[in-house]
Structure 1
Amino acid sequence: MPLREPDNLIGESSCFLECLEKVSRAAALNRPVLVVGERGTGKELIASRLHYLSSRWEQPFIKLNCAAINENLLESELFGHEAGSFTGAKGKHSGRFELADRGTLFLDELATSSPLVQEKLLRVIEYGEFERVGGNRTLTVDVRLVAATNEDLPTLAEQGKFRHDLLDRLAFDVITLPPLRERKEDLLLLAHHFAVKMSVELGESVFKGFSEYAENQLIDYHWPGNVRELKNVIERSIYLNATDSPIEALNLDPFESPFRPGQSKKPVSSNTPNKAPAGIEFPLDLKQYSQDTEINVIKQALEHAQFNQKKTAELLNLTYHQLRGYLKKYSLIDG
């Protein structure tokens, strides 16, 4: 019995539901499908869904990331090789097309493939035929091809970097995944899903939720890494939350540190004399002056950190909770 597809295709936004509906229609046809989307949008999950909703669902679902294979070895990985066909080829090797016979082959990052591989792919798509590297016997397979890319293939074809005829064959139907920044309605839904799963993994009985500030972070952040980045951010934030309270703020950047290489500030010379602030007139109300100074410094730090409270706390050498105390003390935040 084949494994079920991953259950992470979650969303209620209209653009995402339209995409899933298109996947369901395309799954029933024995035609190539091209899946296009930014990194982290779930192209492999879509390919898996295409396979498991098709009549081939009980047959192999084979995957290969073309960008992860050396160009000289990619042809062998796809089509196999005969013994002695090249240095190190000690025995016959079955390629991914043979392994995927009667099933589905998912090729990720196809835009990185060489012209020779593209030519052989075109022949397999058109006739179902190929030869192993170093072989002269024609093999026949029945494979449905699903390819994925985050590149603009029509532009690459115009530039001569991708075969027009292969693109025509692959693009029987093109499924373009919306980036997460266009799925605002799905952000909290996905975040809660990942948070609950991480809480269970950590042995917690219940997920305490997100603060209003953390929810605003979810909505305002642009998520360049899409769903994959969201999952990492949520899991990291749950893991770092040492209290039983809701997640106060998301840890968006794990590299954020005053000691990050290249980020250190120029040291202040110990010979530089401390100067009193100019413009002070005595007598003065020291308590009020200190309060006004604290408020002014905190406001400037907030602006400098683009109102990221975690960064602001680091700029002021405070803990996050100490900063929250100051913000509430001076009514600089709601609640």
Structure 2
Amino acid sequence: MSRFNQKDNLLGQANNFLEVLEQVSQIAPLSKPVLIIGERGTGKELIAARLHYLSKRWDQSYLKLNCAALNENLLETELFGYDSGAFTGASKRHEGRFERADNGTLFLDEIANTSGLIQEKLLRVVEYGEFERVGGSRTINTNVRLIAATNEDLPTLADAGEFRADLLDRLAFDVITLPPLRERIEDIMMLAESFAINMARELEFELFSGFTEKAKRAMLEYHWPGNVRELKNVVERSVYRCNNPHLPVHDLVIDPFESPYRPSQRIKTQDRISVSVPSIDKENNEEKRQEIIQQQLPVSKSLVFPLSLKDLSQDYEIDLIQSALESCQYNQKKTADALKLTYHQLRGYLKKYNLLESAVDEG
């Protein structure tokens, strides 16, 4: 159990937080899936680790994966593995997380960012405990306790068709919802002092002299949108900038970007991608590249009116989607990311403009 003690930094005495810990203790011994929901920085990963190390699987593998960090293809191979020859460069078999976590626990963070394909395969694993490697045909059985986390409202996403309702039903055997730090006022100073003492040790101070009343009031009155993670950063930053173990921390550095010299202008994302979304072969497609660039420029004053705004807008959207698809080798997940759409929003556009047949989904 030493690994658990070293990793567990869950501190608090607020009733709503203690209720969460009690819920964790109740569900931990079971092998059922658990869904953890909470704002960023509330400690979802710490709760997942606590679930594992309080379970009967505590001495088995505990693997973690952030689903938002990988595109669909990489996420699929990382979760389910692949067989030799599954694709170019796959010279040998690769075991995925579900295979390596057999008899242990797998924690999937940012579960809301998975595509329909990944959700379908996850459903099969949760329901039947089986899957196939990418490029393989042999069914592999696994005994994995799945813990998933998100900071999004999954029931609303499911109602909108952006997350599989049947997968949500399987994942939500029990749901642990973490309270934000602003609802744990009595825990703020306890956490702050713990973070400050650890930072003082790291700086090799002989002691930590505490916080002034001004600093305490600032911490208790602040909204903490980044929750415990933000509090930790603020406290550690303030201790090191104080740089005197014999003086209490007086000034909290909440916003490290605050400066009279901070740039005030923002370069619009649209300006950056206006000519970069389509990636065209420069040698053979210069004419087409220039055509696409012109299509993305503001509407020319030389247009002859009256004209159909609806038809013009539709043609523009079709051309932009087709260019983005070509640029992304017709991978729909990459195309959605390039156009700053969700996967399901892109699918809606493809259906609307009858582009599904030409848009091969390589996910």
The TM tier, using the shorter chain, reads 0.7 to 0.9
Tell me what 2:206 maps to.
205
Superposition deviation, residue 2 in structure 1:
7.2
Structure 1 residue 127 corresponds to structure 2 residue 128 = yes
Q: CA deviation at 1:249?
A: 1.4
| Structure 1: distance between partners of 2:264 and 2:194 | 36
1:257 equivalent to 2:292? Answer no
Counterpart CA distance in 1 for 2:161 and 2:90 is 32
Q: What do residues 260-310 of structure 1 show as CA deviations (whole Å, max 9, x unaligned)?
A: 1118xxxxxxxxxxxxxxxxxxxxxxxxxxxxxxxxxxxxxxxxxxxxxxx
Question: Could you tell me how far apart the structure 1 residues matched to 2:18 and 2:76 are?
Answer: 36
Q: Measure, in 2, the Cα distance between the counterparts of 1:182 and 1:88.
A: 50
> What's the counterpart of residue 347 of structure 2?
none
Secondary structure of 1:64's aligned partner: strand
One-letter code aligned to 2:215: A
SS of residue in 2 equivalent to 1:18 = helix
State the partner residue of 2:314.
Answer: none
Q: CA deviation at 1:200?
A: 0.7
How many aligned positions are there?
Answer: 263
Q: Which residue of 2 aligns with 1:303?
A: none
Deviation at 1:91, TM superposition (A): 1.5
Structure 1 length as normaliser, TM-score?
Answer: 0.77
CA distance in 1, matches of 2:191, 2:2: 26
Cα RMSD, aligned residues only:
1.1
Structure 1 stretches of 4+ with a deviation exceeding 6 A read none
Q: Per-residue deviation at 1:93?
A: 0.6
Residue 72 of structure 2 is matched in structure 1 by 71
Partner of 2:172: 171
Looking at CA atoms only, which structure, 1 or 2, has the larger radius of gyration? 1
Partner of 1:147: 148
C-alpha separation in 1, matches of 2:2 and 2:66: 21
2:32 paired residue number: 31
Cα distance between partner residues in 2 of 1:109 and 1:24 = 23
Contact 2:4 2:49 in 1 (8 A): no
Displacement of 1:216 after TM fit? 0.4
Asked if structure 1 preserves the Cα contact closer than 8 Å seen for 2:72 and 2:118, the reply is: no
Per the alignment, residue 247 of structure 2 pairs with 245
Q: Once the 2 structures are TM-superposed, how far is the Cα of residue 89 of structure 1 from its aligned partner?
A: 1.8
Instruction: Look up the equivalent residue of 1:141 and give its one-letter code.
Output: T
Q: Secondary structure at the match of 1:4?
A: helix
Residue 4 of structure 1 aligns with an amino acid whose one-letter code is F
Q: Give yes or no for contact 2:209–2:249 (8 Å, CA) kept in 1.
A: yes
Report if aligned partners of 1:2, 1:58 keep a CA contact under 8 Å in 2.
Answer: no
Indicate the SS of the match to 1:44: helix
Deviation at 1:74, TM superposition (A): 0.7
The match for 1:225 is 226
Aligned partner letter, 2:92? G
Q: Percent of aligned pairs with the same residue?
A: 65
- Does the CA-based 8 Å contact 1:208-1:247 persist in structure 2? yes
Q: Counterparts in 2 of 1:19-58, with a 5 A limit? A: 19-58=20-59
Instruction: Compare 191-200 and 239-248 and name the one that shifted more.
Output: 239-248
The structure-2 alpha-carbon separation of the partners of 1:2 and 1:131, relative to structure 1 and needing over 3 Å to count, comes to farther
**Structure 1 residues 174-193: aligned runs within 5 Å:** 174-193=175-194
Match of residue 4 from structure 1: 4
Residue in 2 that maps onto 1:158: 159
- Measure how far apart 1:220 and its partner are: 0.6
Which residue identity lines up with residue 111 of structure 1 in the other structure?
A
8 A Cα contact 1:61 1:104, kept in partner: yes
The 3 A distance-change label for structure 1 pair 186 and 152 is same
Counterpart CA distance in 1 for 2:47 and 2:181 is 15
Per-residue displacement from partner, 1:88-130 (whole Å, max 9, x unpaired)?
2221110000110000000000011111111111111111100
Cα distance in 1 between the residues matched to 2:87 and 2:153: 34
SS at match of 2:3: coil
Q: CA deviation at 1:157?
A: 0.3
